Amino acid sequence: MVTDFAGMAARPPWLTSVMVAVVARAGCLLAVGTALGFAVNAARADGVSFGAFAAPSACPAAPAPAVAATGAASAAGAVEVLAPTAAADLCRDPRAVVVDVRPPAAFAEGHVAGALHLPCAAPGGAARATVELLAGRNTLIVYGQDTAEALPVAEELRRRAGRADLRIVVIDGGFPRWSAASLACSSGPCPECGAPHD
């Protein structure tokens, strides 16, 4: 047996070549597995979009005085349409609920941070559950891919809630304008939804 300068047994040369081969194979398997994972993700309709992610910017914890300045309470029961920055001021209030009415794939790709998913084609039970979530809340913020997608849902939720004290707001321009303004965004499916909507 060969010993090194410290008196310890040295590795035989064949063992070093075997270790190099094992590490090389592991590296190849890792590279192939990663490439296969990205390919499957890209092929899936509900795959994660890596190119569309932007780091979130969260709402501050304290309400800003600008909330009152963005507009006084509108006529009882009317749905307001606010610019994304004005709607973002409302997210500081813990009594606000944000609802996304876009399709599930769009919601999973990116949505307003903390939003619940309620697609336009949701069964009545999902809309009833959203109305029940409004107990003790004073503001409902609704958005879609654009203003026109969100307005009918906001009107229906206003009708179902039947509360004159509930402020209902639609984000003008929908999620694209919210995202373009670099406001708080998240990605992934709605954790409160349970099963995904189809």
pLDDT in tens, the chain (198 residues): 555 555 566 777 788 888 899 999 999 999 999 999 988 888 887 677 666 544 444 343 333 333 333 343 444 468 899 998 888 888 878 888 888 888 888 888 888 888 888 865 455 556 666 677 777 788 889 999 999 988 998 888 888 888 888 899 999 999 898 888 877 766 666 655 544 433
Query: CATH assignment of 66-186?
Result: 3.40.250.10
Q: What does the pLDDT read at residue 36?
A: 93
* Residue 95 CB partners (closer than 8 Å, separation 6+): 136, 137, 138, 139
pTM passes above 0.85: no
Domain boundaries, the chain: 1-43, 66-186
Q: How many CB atoms lie within 10 A of CB 175?
A: 27
End-to-end CA separation in angstroms for the chain: 69
Q: What does the pLDDT read at residue 2?
A: 55
